[in-house]
Amino acid sequence: GNVWVPAADAVSGATPLMQIEGGLESLSYSVSDLFWGNIPGSVGEGCTFAILLGAMILLISGAANYGAMFSCVLGALAVGLVANLAAPSPESALAIPAWYHLLMGGFAFGAVFMVTDPVTGAQTNTGKWIYGFLVGAIAVIIRLFSPAYPEGMMIAILLMNTFAPLIDHCVVASNINRRLARSKTV
C-alpha cells in the first residue's frame, strides 16, 4: 500500500514587525517583498498592492472617505519622521524609515478597510481627518514603544473609535462658535 505523508499546511517565521526591533539592518525582507506580500504574517499583512487595489475600488465607488484614509497615512508618516529624528542609533527601531510602517503589518489593511468604516469612525468631514491622523500616529507609537505588542493598528483604531463621538462634538461645537462669532461681527 501507499503511505501518504501530507505536506506542511503552513510555514511560520518572524514577521517584519518582530524583526524591526533591531533596526533596519535586522530586517531580512526587501521593500519589494513587503509590497507584494512575500512575507510571513496574518491575513491583511500581506500584499499591499492588493490592498491599494481595494482602496481604489472603495474610493471610485464612493464607499470610503479619502480623508480618513489619507490622514491615517499622514499621521503614520509624521510620527515615523519624528521617530527617525529622535533615533539614538541606526540600530534602533526608531531609525526605521517612516514609509516602511506603511508596508509592514496590518497598517495598509487598517487604513483602507477599517479606518474608513462609516459606523464607528468620525462622522464630520473635519472629524474624519482628525480621526484618521490620530489612528495613524497612535499605531506607529504603539509599534515603536510597545515591546509586548508589535502591531498597533487595531488597538489604535479601537482607541480612536471610543473618541470619535468626542471628536465630532468638538468639531461641531467649534463650527457653532465660529458662526456665532461671525454673526456678532456683522
**Highest mean pLDDT of the ranges 65-69, 83-87, 134-138, 178-182:** 134-138
- pLDDT of 146 reads 86
Residue-wise pLDDT tens digits, 52-63: 999 999 999 999
Residue-wise pLDDT tens digits, 126-155: 999 999 999 999 999 999 998 777 788 999
- The rounded distance, in Å, linking the Cα atoms of 43 and 3 is 33
This prediction has a pTM of 0.87
- pLDDT of 2 reads 67
- pLDDT of 72 reads 98
Q: HEC profile for the chain?
A: CCCCCCCCCCCCCCCHHHHHHHCHHHCCCCHHHHHHCCCCCCCCCCCHHHHHHHHHHHHHHCCCCHHHHHHHHHHHHHHHHHHHHHCCCCCCHHHCCCCHHHHCCCHHHHHHHHCCCCCCCCCCHHHHHHHHHHHHHHHHHHHHHCCCCCCCHHHHHHHHHHHHHHHHHHHHHHHHHHHHHHHHHC
Q: What is the mean pLDDT of the chain?
A: 88
Whole-number percent of the chain with pLDDT over 90:
58
- pLDDT of 10 reads 64
- pLDDT of 28 reads 78
Residue-wise pLDDT tens digits, 72-114: 999 999 999 999 999 988 888 888 889 999 998 889 999 999 9
Q: Which cell numbers hold the place of 164?
A: 470619535
- pLDDT of 156 reads 97
- In one-letter notation, the amino acid at residue 147 is P
Residue-wise pLDDT tens digits, 113-126: 999 999 999 999 99
- The rounded distance, in Å, linking the Cα atoms of 62 and 148 is 38
